[in-house]
Each structure stands twice: as C-alpha cells, then as structure tokens.
Structure 1
Amino acid sequence: MNETTAARCPASAATRPTPSDEPQLRPADVADTAAPEAPVADWVDPTALQEDPYPTYRRLRAEAPIAWVPRLNRYLVTSYTACKAMEDDPESPRAGTENIIRSLGGVPMIAKTGAEHAAERAAVNPALRPKCMQDVWEPVFTRNAHLYLDVLSGIGPERADLYRDYAVPLAARNLADLLGMRDVPAEQLARWSKAFISEMANGGKDPDVSRRAAEAGAEADAVLDDLVPGLRRRPDDSVISVLAAKGMGVPEIRHNVKLIVSGGVNEPQHALTTLFWALDGSPEQRAEVLAEPRLWRTAFDEAIRMVAPIGMIPKTLEQDTVLDGVRLRAGRDVGLMISAANRDPEWFPAPDTFDLHRPKVAHLAFGAGAHMCAGLWAARWSVGQIAVPLLYERHPDVRIDPSRRSRWAGWFFRGMTECPITWTETR
C-alpha cells in the first residue's frame, strides 16, 4: 500500500502477541550444521522498492523474513524480532563499512564496535542529551523555524512546497548551528548530506555520485581543519567543540562529523514532512494533537514508525552467523529493513495506519542497542516540538495541496521529495 493511499484512521487497541521464542544472533558452530540457508527471493525488484517498498516487505515477512536477495546482493531481514535481535546484540556485526568508508573518507563510530565505538559515542553524547536540547538549542531551533516560516509564507500558498522550502533548509540550518558550522550556508550542508547518503547507497557504481561525495568530503574537511583549532581554544556547546574537548583527533572528528551530516539533514527533513503528512491525513488526530501539546512526541514517533527516514541499516557479516535459526554466510551483507520491522503486524496492530493510541512498542526508526542514533533527541525536539507545531501556529489550516503532485521515493532512505502545501491567507 502506497503512503498516499494508505488508510490512516486509528487502529484498534489490540495488544501485540509475545512470541515464545525470541530470535537469537550467534556465531555458527558445529552444532549448526543443520541450520537451513536463507531462502532466495529472486523476485524482489529494486525499482518497485524505490517507488513503494511496503508490498515487497509484506510478502517477505510472510514468505521469508530472512532472505537472500540476489539483485541486491545481500540478505534482507524484515521481521521486527529478527531486526531487533541483531541491533541489540553487543556482538552484532558492524555496519556495512565499505560503502560508509567510501562515502565519508574514513571509519566513523557507526562502523566500529566494542570499546572503540563506546569511546567515540561517549564523546558525542553530552552535546545531544535532552537537557542540552532544551537549555541550549531550543531557542536556536525556534529562531531558525521562524526564519524559514517567513520564507515559506513569502513564497505563498499557491507555490510553497513544504519539503523544498521549509524541511530541507531548516534541517540543514539547525544542523549547521548544532555542529558549530555557523558560517556554512544551509544549502551547502544540505548538498553535503545528499552527496554522502547517495554514495552510501551507490557503493561506487556511478562515478558521478562518487565524485560529488568526494568533493563534498573535501569541502567539509577544509571547514573542519579551520574550525577545530579555534574551538579547542574557545569551546562552546556545539558538537564539534565537545568532540574536540574530549580529545578526539581531527581525522576522527572529520569522519564522525560527516556521518552526522549525512543523517542529520536527511532524517529531520523527511521526519518533518512525514509527520505533517500523517496529521494531514488524520484530521481528528491532528485536532487532538493541536489541542494537547504533550501528544506531539507521540505523534512524531508514530509518524516515523510508519515511514522510517532510514529504511535500512546495513551490516557486514564477519563470520558465519545464525539468526532466528537461519544460517548467514560470512562476508555477505545484511540489510536490517527497519521500514519493514516497524510495520510488522505481530508487534504493531494495523501497522499501515497512523494511530496515536496504539499499544506502546519501541519502534526501530532510530535503531536500537549500542548503535541507536545519537541524534534522536535533536530530531524529536527540532521537528516534533518546534518545526511542525510552529507551522500550524503560523498557518492553522495548512494542508497538502491536492491540485499539485506529491511524491515519495526511496527504500534505503525514504521520504517525501515533493510536498506541495496551501493555506488560507489572512488579511
């Protein structure tokens, strides 16, 4: 079912079943000689995934929740329990490092495990905690939202596009300030982010995509080389300053900042349009959220459960592994299909609906375990507490314009790429 046609009324308050045998992730050994190989799903069509991945995910969950997909050259894991098992396991294989290293020019924390990962994660966490969001960054995010709402209003209700004119530049400006790259234009940071994530999905196949990622990386490195020494001398609350204060070297700062840039624009920009889309299609629930501000966080989490901005978490198997009784071969890539797991009906009743009151189950849109997204509070705060509420405050009857085309795209990364909106002008 495509997002534009999905039923978005509240689901029943059914309680999810509790499976008797939770999937386990463990190295294969002699006792696993009878473990079956993953079924081959040679019918999976990457073009269909790009347009609307959810029918494919439903079929995979029903027929082969762990499957080898030749056209993607990787295993796809589509059940909630199996995805969560691999994310939660402290010995889980590292993220698909080859594409990440190619895109970012080095090994960031997401591609590391154990003590090495823990040390770099501990360095970045203080800058991204909820109290820091509230005390330091809420005024900055609010100022930026008003700035781009002025731009949006100036474009007018006949031409405005929520994605192009608000979500993208606002996400980029917020991230530039949060990182400490205050002199980097929002459009430049957005271009870097698009270049990095495009190369992660590209895997070096298209030389033009690789070239754009390399150029973006060189630009980012030059900015960081100028910025870090000054922040070591005059620290502030920015992420780069915190990393420098924790003793992280310039090469490690480069790799990790580019990692943050890759997700830190992409995820909030798509979360913003997805949350608006979900509320636009559910007038009664929209009225409920607007009347009760404490529901904004619930609405944000339910929206990104339905359409996770990062649809797949890549892994690379370093040894033969058994997951939920299925044998996975060393050296092969795995895709944890978060977008599929978050619509697993065993855990999320009526999963294709937007429901503020569904039984609470932790979705996987931010991942889980040690590699859970460090920027989750920044996204929740900037989008769910500020950007979308202020949009409705400025234009109370803002809505998707049915006379112009809306468009969704992607499966590795998914979101609206065209979101035309309109509203009633007040005089």
Structure 2
Amino acid sequence: MSTTTTTPPAPPVADWLDPSGMARDPYPTYERLRALGSVVHAPAIGRYLLTSHASVSAAERRPELFSAYSETNLTMVRALGGRPMLRKNDPDHCAERSSINATLRPRTVRDTWSPGFSHTVDRWIDHLLEMGPADADLERDFAAPVASSNLIDLLGLSGCVGVGDMRRWSTDFIDGIGNILDAPEVWRRCEQSQAEVGAVLDEILPRLRRAPDSSITSHLLHCGLPDEIVRANVHLAISGGVNEPAHMITNMVWALGTHPGQLAVVRSGEVEWGAAFEETARWLSPIGMVPRETTQELDWFGTRIPLGANVGLLLGSANRDESVFDDAGRYEVRRTARGHLGFGSGVHMCAGRWAAKSAVGEIALPRLYERIPTLRVDPARAADWNGWVFRGLVSLPVTW
C-alpha cells in the first residue's frame, strides 16, 4: 500500500463496466468490482477504481499519494468555472475550507441556521399538502425546494434568488461534475448557470464587503480570498448544497417507506432520526465517487497504479463492503453506521454534512412524518433514480 522498488501486477480490468447501466443502479456493478479486487481498472471511464472500504479510506488518508489537484481530470473545474477547494491540496485547501468551517460547525448550525430550517420545512409541507395525495412528488414539491431555500439562506442570497433557479443551477453543476463522458449539452448548461450565478454575485459581493453577515459567501469574502476563488467555492456550495440534502430527504423517505418495519422503529423512538440519516447515507450514498490523481507510481493493495493515473474513490461501493458492515446490502437503522463514507472522509469530507444532518435528519424528516403520519411512497406512480457519481431520486411520488 505504498511506493515499491519491485513491479506489482496490474489490477484486474473491468472491460464490461457500463456507465449508463450504473446510472440506473450502480450497486450490482459495485459488487462485481469488489469481487475483482480493491483496485480495478475501468477503461470505459479511463479510471482506476478503488472499490473496498479499506482502499478508499486509506487513499483519503494519503493525499500526498492521491492528489485532489489535477491538471488532466478537470470536469469539476470546468463545471464550476474555476478550481474550488475540493480540487486543491493543503495548504490551499485548508485556507479556503477554514474560511467557512465556522458557519457550518454543529453548534453554529443549531443556533444560527436551524430555526430558519424549521420555518422552511413547515412552509414546504404546506405546499406538499396543497398538491394533494394524488399528485404530490416529494422531490419536486418538498425536498428540492427545502434544500434550495436552506442554501439560499446559508449563502446569503435571500431576496435575490428563487428556489427554482437555485435548484436548476445545482442540477447543472452536479451534471457537469459527473460529465465524465463529455456531453456537450451538459457543458452548455453549466456555462449558462455560471453566467447567471455570476450576475447575482456581481450584485451581492459589493454589499457583503460593506456589511458582512454570517453567510458562507461573506465568510469566504472576508478571509482575503481572491474574487475568482470566492466565486468558484460559491459554485461548489451550490452544487452539493442542494443535491445532497434533497437526495437525503427523498432517499430516507424511500428507504423507510419500502422498509415499514424500519420506519416503525424510528417513529417509536427506539432509534433516533439521526441514526436513520447515517444508515441511509451509508446504504444509498449521495456521493458515489470522488476523483483523485496519483503523484507517483504506487503499489496499492498489491496492484500497480501508474504515476498520473485518474483514480475514482468509490464511496458507494465502500459503503457496501461486507468486511466492514455486516450484511451490508441490507438497510438496518439499528446498525452502527459509524465509519461510512457517504460524505467522503479525511480533509475533504463534505463541509456541509452537519448542516445536512440537522436540516434533514433532525428537522425535515421528523416534522414531515409528524404532520403527515400516513405519508408513504405511492405504489401507483414510479419513482425515478439517476446517477452514480452523484446519486439520488429525481422523482418520488408520494401519497397519504
């Protein structure tokens, strides 16, 4: 699992890997990949994939070997119109990450942001109820608007951005970050959203310079970061700040709704909602893969990875690793999901995970089932899943 003076064997090759099939359901592919080994070469996507929990978590602890910075794997940079902190190594990454850590710590989230999260949740439950049990779609009518509204507040954009625009920008940026097949229409949408967000920032950055507030944008601005870095990291926050919380809302409702015994355990109080949040993040990882690049030729878990190789850390696969999680393919809210990699790990762990856990696991889900006790997945209308680099429900019809 380090540099070596002898040449280890090349990793097994998954020449059968189908990215479009993974977008429908990546978990059968993850199981096949883990059976091949902890490192697998996937020519179809030009990457060496780390498949096991041990290989992924070890790579996250060795950024000097698996670099977040790359001059060749630039989908995130292109999607966001600049290089955000997630595609940098320390000390540059640390300087940018520390500028927003204060506003996203658990205590700050609880004291500063949670009251607004609660108001937003009730407002959109009202909207969901207005849609009615025959037409309601949890993603469209609740999850995406809640996540968008919360992020508008966190970024300090209240009053100048609507939930529809925020949701669309996030979708465009996420699609771009995952655009490993280089679809031109995806890049066109990214560029359009970059221009629209840029126009909003042109308006609010001068105001925040004069009158700082507690928002993420203000913290980035007042840490002395150059304007282009502030903008790239606002784009980064938009990408994950809607996508991941919205997916966690729908993923939890789908998981609990298709496992009614598990829902009963949580609603009885035997298991806390926060524990169900963590198990859902493990079982249905909102982030499926994160990119890295090797800084030297490596002997990693007994196989050779060349210098400068594009590497994919398969968080979704690692979270179903049977050597770490007993009966890993089973959804079980009573399990201790500690150690899951649903939001990454190490220095690049998702900065917003505590805000997401508060907004979703401690506020949105309990309140949703409190106000709509008979809420359930609608068996008469099909749910729609999409993605594997980022994965979640893009439509979840519900009824009550």
Superposed, which structure 2 residues align to 1:133-212 within 5 Å?
133-182=109-158, 183-203=160-180, 205-212=182-189
Letter paired with 1:399: R
Residues 1:300 and 2:295 are matched in the alignment: no
1:311, 1:413 within 8 Å by CA — same for their partners in 2?
A: yes
Residues 1:102 and 2:102 are matched in the alignment: no
Letter paired with 1:195: D
Q: 1:415 aligns with which of 389, 392, 398?
A: 392
1:347, 1:361 within 8 Å by CA — same for their partners in 2?
A: no
Aligned match of 2:94: 118
Residues 1:93 and 2:67 are matched in the alignment: yes
Aligned match of 2:342: 365
1:95, 1:313 within 8 Å by CA — same for their partners in 2?
A: no
Q: 2:198 aligns with which of 212, 221, 231?
A: 221
Residues 1:325 and 2:302 are matched in the alignment: yes
1:94, 1:317 within 8 Å by CA — same for their partners in 2?
A: no
Aligned match of 1:55: 28
Q: Secondary structure at the match of 2:40?
A: strand
Aligned match of 1:15: none
Aligned match of 2:227: 250
Mean Cα displacement is larger for which, 71-80 or 325-334? 325-334
Q: For the residues of structure 1 that align with 2:332 and 2:340, how far apart are their CA atoms?
A: 13
Q: For the residues of structure 2 that align with 1:286 and 1:119, how far apart are their CA atoms?
A: 42
Aligned match of 1:8: none
Which structure 2 residue ranges, 5 or more long, are not aligned?
none
Residue 203 of structure 1: CA displacement? 4.4
2:45, 2:181 within 8 Å by CA — same for their partners in 1?
A: no
Residue 61 of structure 1: CA displacement? 0.6
1:84, 1:368 within 8 Å by CA — same for their partners in 2?
A: yes
Q: For the residues of structure 2 that align with 1:93 and 1:39, how far apart are their CA atoms?
A: 23
Mean Cα displacement is larger for which, 354-363 or 249-258? 354-363
Aligned match of 1:21: none
Structure 1 vs Structure 2: percent identity of aligned residues?
43
Aligned match of 1:70: 43
1:270, 1:416 within 8 Å by CA — same for their partners in 2?
A: yes
TM-score (norm 2): 0.95
Aligned match of 1:277: 254
Question: For residues 122-165 of structure 1, what are the alpha-carbon distances to aligned partners after superposition, in whole Å with 9 as ceiling and x for unaligned?
Answer: 11100101111111111111111111111110000000011111
Residue 95 of structure 1: CA displacement? 5.3
Q: For the residues of structure 2 that align with 1:66 and 1:326, how far apart are their CA atoms?
A: 7
User: Cα distance 1:203–1:49, how it changes in 2: closer, same or farther (>3 A)?
Assistant: closer
2:286, 2:343 within 8 Å by CA — same for their partners in 1?
A: no
1:102, 1:204 within 8 Å by CA — same for their partners in 2?
A: no
Residues 1:83 and 2:91 are matched in the alignment: no
Question: For residues 50-107 of structure 1, what are the alpha-carbon distances to aligned partners after superposition, in whole Å with 9 as ceiling and x for unaligned?
Answer: 1111111111111233111111111111100000001122423115651111111111
User: Cα distance 1:293–1:185, how it changes in 2: closer, same or farther (>3 A)?
Assistant: farther
User: Cα distance 1:173–1:293, how it changes in 2: closer, same or farther (>3 A)?
Assistant: farther
1:228, 1:250 within 8 Å by CA — same for their partners in 2?
A: no
Q: For the residues of structure 1 that align with 2:184 and 2:16, how far apart are their CA atoms?
A: 28
Q: Secondary structure at the match of 1:202?
A: coil
Mean Cα displacement is larger for which, 151-160 or 205-214? 205-214
Q: Secondary structure at the match of 1:396?
A: coil
Q: 1:379 aligns with which of 356, 361, 364?
A: 356
Q: 2:217 aligns with which of 240, 248, 265?
A: 240
Aligned match of 1:5: none
Count of paired positions: 396
1:75, 1:335 within 8 Å by CA — same for their partners in 2?
A: yes
Residue 349 of structure 1: CA displacement? 0.6
2:273, 2:361 within 8 Å by CA — same for their partners in 1?
A: yes
Q: 2:379 aligns with which of 374, 383, 402?
A: 402
Q: 1:316 aligns with which of 293, 311, 319?
A: 293
Letter paired with 2:136: A
Superposed, which structure 2 residues align to 1:123-134 within 5 Å?
123-134=99-110
| RMSD (CA atoms) | 1.5
Letter paired with 2:25: D
Question: For residues 263-296 of structure 1, what are the alpha-carbon distances to aligned partners after superposition, in whole Å with 9 as ceiling and x for unaligned?
Answer: 1111011111111112112223322222328711
Q: For the residues of structure 2 that align with 1:205 and 1:367, how far apart are their CA atoms?
A: 24
Q: Secondary structure at the match of 1:198?
A: helix
Q: For the residues of structure 2 that align with 1:203 and 1:402, how far apart are their CA atoms?
A: 34
Q: For the residues of structure 2 that align with 1:409 and 1:120, how far apart are their CA atoms?
A: 31
Q: Secondary structure at the match of 1:327?
A: strand
Aligned match of 1:10: none
Post-superposition, which runs of at least 4 consecutive aligned residues in structure 1 deviate over 3 A?
none
Superposed, which structure 2 residues align to 1:336-347 within 5 Å?
336-347=313-324
Residue 363 of structure 1: CA displacement? 0.3
Q: For the residues of structure 1 that align with 2:363 and 2:13, how far apart are their CA atoms?
A: 45
Q: For the residues of structure 2 that align with 1:106 and 1:98, how far apart are their CA atoms?
A: 10
Q: For the residues of structure 1 that align with 2:113 and 2:122, how far apart are their CA atoms?
A: 14
Residue 239 of structure 1: CA displacement? 0.7
